[in-house]
Structure 1
Amino acid sequence: MDYITLPQTATAFKDIFHEGAAEEYNNAVNSAKQLVNSFLENNRTPFSGITPDQLRALFSQVDFDTPLPDYESLFREVEELYVNHATAFHLPNYIAHLNCPIVIPALAAEVVIAAINSSQDTWDQSAGGTLMEQKLVSWTCNEIGFGAQADGVFTAGGSQSNLMGLLLARDYFAKEKLGHDTRKNGLPAEASRFRIFVSEMTHFSVQNTVSLMGLGEKSLVKVKTDNGFRLSPADLEQAIKKELEQGNLPVAVIATAGTTDFGNIDPLVPIGEIAARYGIWFHVDAAYGCGLLLTEKYRHLLNGIERANSVTTDYHKAFFQPISSSAFLVRDNRYLELITHHADYLNPQENVFEGLNQINKTITQSTRRFDALKLWCTLRLMGKEKLGTYIETIIETTEKTANILEKDGDFQLLTHSDISALVFRYYPAGVQDDVFSDKLNQYIKKEMFQEGKAIVAGTRVNDAFYLKFTLLNPLTTLNDIRNIVSIIKKHGAAFMKQHLSPAL
């Protein structure tokens, strides 16, 4: 058999990151840095306005069988296909979704994370990284108000953390109330009667989660909200009593600290009291609202979160971190034993590093990036207080924006926000009904996106279509808001003129 012999020189393997590739590495990183600088210097609008068909035409020229000759060619192609049309979340006139601008210490950490490429599953793959992650988990648990027994793990995002919370709730109930080991024996016969109580405004991922867990969407009991779209404790207790009367088994309640649409926080203290009174798991989805932990001025809005059995946090929503940077946290580390599995090749029970293997705390990730380094660098260089001032600025700008919308007769604001999301619609004189309003506001959203000068989101509330501001950028000023409002009015007026002008 003939073998191909490759020369064993650094030049032959210059594309692999190793001790002989420093020059190649610097060339590549410098080229990438130039591209990022171009993105910052040249972007003045959040979106280019390119259509899917126009972008597909550019991709039709790409041939993976023919490599490009150098980094200059490579990043020129990346610029044409991606960077020129990437949504610029850092611009103050992007106020659509839960995408925050990122801080530079975290961005610098990304370079280190990618290059060293640690995997956070076991101690022998990331010793210092393990302790960094554990210290950040302990810090966050302390900020929440958990005790010394608390623990957690970094995750890929809020959906994964919510899945872990509900999975623990299900298996904890099965073990403690039914004496059943779900991990070994699958779902108990009583699982068809398990019930999980959520707000009408709960995150969409929860419905997917209960399906993945084998409980089905029928296990979800949606509880009414008040005028501010916060879960009603009185209705929650009534719903629990009703399910008990029907012979069903209340397993968990999910409260939301920062609803996706409204940025409002469920009343955590009474919900926690109800959960404790009925002996059910209390999970708080604070993916959005966890940023309030950074500020003394607004921290009280999270009072009661310390009563939770488990908490979801998304640092990439509220701590100005690059995607992904999230965590799942529990009040008692013993809960995590419900998901721990020992593999002989990875984390055997006799492992001398027992207690240091982060894979014992997660369900869906073995190989896992060292995302904790981003938050570490951020807190060590900037500190909690500075980040907190950013959150305070965002909240205060949002409240002033709400006042602008309320005082303008052309708009209808649904509610004020505890954090930074406002749902409203353009509804000037001449709009006769919700059908016309839906078409009007959908047109505005579409035209704004295509124009690219400012981007807002849209949502449906009680079957009516609304526009939405999500403010996560402390650089967004009231002048920016007024400019966005004028853009909304411009497109709205164009639609009104087209559809309400009398025929000639």
Structure 2
Amino acid sequence: AWCQAAAQKFTGGIGSKLCGKFVPLFDYFSLFSSFKTTKRRAALNKQPDAPHLLPALDGDLKTLNFLQEVVDILLAYIVESFDRSTKVIDFHYPNELLQRNNWELSDEPETLDDILISCRATLKYAIKTAHPRYFNQLSTGLDMVGLAADWLTSTANTNMFTYEVAPVFVLLEYVTLKKMREIIGWENGRGDGIFSPGGAISNMYAMLLARYKMFPEVKEKGMSSVPKLVAFTSEHSHFSIKKGAAALGIGTESVICIKADERGKMIPSDLERRIVEAKQKGYVPFFVSATAGTTVYGAFDPLIAISDICKKYGIWMHVDGAWGGSLLMSRKHRWKLNGVERANSMTWNPHKMMAVPLQCSALLVREEGLMQSCNQMHACYLFQQDKHYDLSYDTGDKALQCGRHVDIFKLWLMWRAKGTIGFEAQIDKCLELSEYLYNKIKDREGYEMVFDGKPQHTNVCFWYLPPGLRYVEDKVEKMKRLHKVAPTIKARMMEYGTTMVSYQPQGDKVNFFRMVISNPAATFEDIDFLIEEIERLGQDL
């Protein structure tokens, strides 16, 4: 079976060569493996309950057998995920899926065999986000080194708040954040930063720091001690900017949305106009969030012009590069973030374009020490001041969280395995695929682009007009019917399980497909398949 898989997966006869070398060994090992599997299952059945696993006395063999079974399940799922002949999703409606398996929790423990059945069932109905034809989200793909790092991280099972409990991980975070700041363009990589649970939290951190920088008394006295604050962001920005304002007590009404052009880029003149207008009303502008790679259009705001305005009015400039920040790794595409080095802070999500396993989001801050003074609470049971090592490596007090997951090792280990040039090649390939898709459909019958011109990122936004809709003259009726096309085709994609791509409306525009490519496994043939599948599933609409 391994030889057959190798012959299919490896090109240039490599699979056959591997088989030639290993078949004699497989003849021997197949007998051993069969014996080992039988022994393993027998061991599981003899003592079926989880309490017999480590740390139970003499639980090492039981644990080894159980974990080997789990690894077998995971490896089979991984291989299947990259097989184009398999479904991306085995879709069932929520009520149906609830009834297909017993998902309820019980007072009595299940047997280990039942636990393994639950593992298989969970993966059976999971979305294969590593599948080469999964395009639904900004985070796709599965990197093998990143996966191995995630397994190691969970095995270490430690917390990132102090050097004493996470010495290697804390140092790796220090090294990696410094490298990321160098890539942004901050001199000698100076500054600060932290890995947080997603881009939304990173953006909120930036807003928190901006408020503290302007009004440090807010930390102790609260919002009643400061004047009416206002923040600014593009009308195409991520919802997390408003969500952060709500969480920090600033209020969503205090986030002023700036007009974007037809490509989705913030219009600097409108930003300045709204800043002046807010000041005339007695409000205090304290935060501007520019976007490098908007969620829908993939637009890059003009950072140089925005930074000039922020400097003029003394406002903190943040760059939400959760989606587009990784283009800094590409010599071909990093110009799209020109001016980012002038920002006060930046959000960068390696779990998107760099395909690091979820989650992996960094906030980078230009001013060193600001995060510490903003967030520290001096908990003496964690951050004792008389420890015997350099206390600057106790990073937990600059975070809002106490318990903080180790997200750094996945990125660090992948960077070691790929090098910067490996990430660059991966990112360039995804952008090449998006341009290929754009060129294939821009003049193809039945397709209409949402905006003119080549995509700025890997986002390709388009409508598909089925044959029965192309010649409808009543514009209102046409738009009403077109609004239903993308959701219907998407539902059929999921029911057939062949592929997944997202859709949404935008402003006054009816539902359109938003194709994004971040999956390193995707190829030109997968793009061709997507086009053909959309047409197949939508031809009767």
TM-score normalised per structure 1 = 0.90
Shift of 1:472: 0.7
Structure 1 regions of 5+ residues with no counterpart? Answer: 1-10, 176-180, 496-504
SS in 1 for 2:370: helix
Specify the alignment match of 1:387 in structure 2.
Answer: 423
Specify the alignment match of 1:34 in structure 2.
Answer: 72
Specify the alignment match of 2:336 in structure 1.
Answer: 301
Specify the alignment match of 2:367 in structure 1.
Answer: 332
Specify the alignment match of 1:135 in structure 2.
Answer: 175
Shift of 1:49: 2.1
Counterpart AA for 2:245:
V
Specify the alignment match of 1:492 in structure 2.
Answer: 538
Shift of 1:18: 8.9
Aligned partners of 1:61 and 1:330: how far apart in 2? Answer: 44
Contact 1:255–1:284, Cα closer than 8 Å, also in 2: yes
Counterpart AA for 1:151:
D
Shift of 1:135: 0.7
SS in 1 for 2:431: helix
Contact 1:268–1:305, Cα closer than 8 Å, also in 2: yes
Specify the alignment match of 2:94 in structure 1.
Answer: 52
- CA gap of 1:269–1:61, structure 2 versus 1, over 3 A, is closer
Specify the alignment match of 1:288 in structure 2.
Answer: 323
Shift of 1:372: 0.8
Aligned partners of 1:386 and 1:26: how far apart in 2? Answer: 35
Specify the alignment match of 1:178 in structure 2.
Answer: none
- CA gap of 1:296–1:22, structure 2 versus 1, over 3 A, is farther
Is 1:218 matched with 2:218?
Answer: no
Is 1:455 matched with 2:500?
Answer: yes
Aligned partners of 2:167 and 2:376: how far apart in 1? Answer: 20
Aligned partners of 1:168 and 1:223: how far apart in 2? Answer: 22
SS in 1 for 2:186: coil
Aligned partners of 1:197 and 1:98: how far apart in 2? Answer: 24
SS in 2 for 1:409: coil
2:350 paired residue among 315, 318, 322: 315
Q: List aligned pairs for 1:195-274, cutoff 5 A.
A: 195-274=230-309
1:43-80 CA distance string (max 9 Å, x none): 5121112222221102446452343322x432222212
1:411 paired residue among 439, 447, 456: 447
Contact 1:147–1:331, Cα closer than 8 Å, also in 2: no
Specify the alignment match of 1:397 in structure 2.
Answer: 433
1:432-460 CA distance string (max 9 Å, x none): 42111102222112222222111110111
Is 1:170 matched with 2:218?
Answer: no
Shift of 1:128: 1.9
- CA gap of 1:27–1:218, structure 2 versus 1, over 3 A, is same
1:368-421 CA distance string (max 9 Å, x none): 122211111111122111111010000011011111121113111123422211
Aligned partners of 2:192 and 2:55: how far apart in 1? Answer: 35
1:69-94 CA distance string (max 9 Å, x none): 22x432222212x1111111111211
Aligned partners of 1:19 and 1:318: how far apart in 2? Answer: 45
Structure 2 regions of 5+ residues with no counterpart? Answer: 1-48
Specify the alignment match of 1:498 in structure 2.
Answer: none
Specify the alignment match of 1:108 in structure 2.
Answer: 148
- CA gap of 1:494–1:66, structure 2 versus 1, over 3 A, is farther
Counterpart AA for 2:241:
V
Contact 1:438–1:466, Cα closer than 8 Å, also in 2: yes
- CA gap of 1:246–1:129, structure 2 versus 1, over 3 A, is same
Counterpart AA for 1:410:
G
Is 1:150 matched with 2:191?
Answer: yes
Contact 1:445–1:467, Cα closer than 8 Å, also in 2: no
Aligned partners of 2:291 and 2:518: how far apart in 1? Answer: 18
Aligned partners of 2:195 and 2:503: how far apart in 1? Answer: 30
Shift of 1:40: 3.0
Shift of 1:14: 5.0
CA RMSD for the aligned pairs?
A: 2.0
SS in 2 for 1:457: strand
Shift of 1:330: 0.2
Aligned partners of 2:352 and 2:199: how far apart in 1? Answer: 10
- CA gap of 1:384–1:21, structure 2 versus 1, over 3 A, is farther
Higher relative contact order (CA 8 A, sep 6+): 1
Shift of 1:19: 10
Contact 1:45–1:93, Cα closer than 8 Å, also in 2: no
- CA gap of 1:13–1:492, structure 2 versus 1, over 3 A, is closer
Shift of 1:273: 1.4
Shift of 1:490: 2.1
Specify the alignment match of 2:482 in structure 1.
Answer: 437
- CA gap of 1:22–1:271, structure 2 versus 1, over 3 A, is farther
Contact 1:93–1:480, Cα closer than 8 Å, also in 2: yes
1:171-205 CA distance string (max 9 Å, x none): 21213xxxxx11111114544x2110100111111
Aligned partners of 2:332 and 2:281: how far apart in 1? Answer: 44
Contact 2:91–2:495, Cα closer than 8 Å, also in 1: yes
Shift of 1:38: 2.2
Shift of 1:23: 3.2
Counterpart AA for 2:138:
L
Is 1:120 matched with 2:157?
Answer: no
Contact 1:342–1:349, Cα closer than 8 Å, also in 2: no
Query: Percent identity between the aligned chains?
Result: 27
Aligned partners of 1:52 and 1:110: how far apart in 2? Answer: 29
1:90-139 CA distance string (max 9 Å, x none): 11211111122121111111121111212110121112221111111111
SS in 2 for 1:54: helix
Counterpart AA for 1:38:
A
Q: How many residues align?
A: 476
SS in 2 for 1:251: strand
Aligned partners of 2:67 and 2:413: how far apart in 1? Answer: 20
Specify the alignment match of 1:65 in structure 2.
Answer: 107
Counterpart AA for 2:270:
D
Counterpart AA for 1:450:
E
SS in 2 for 1:201: coil
Counterpart AA for 1:360:
D
SS in 2 for 1:154: strand
2:521 paired residue among 471, 475, 482: 475
Contact 2:442–2:448, Cα closer than 8 Å, also in 1: yes
Contact 2:218–2:225, Cα closer than 8 Å, also in 1: no
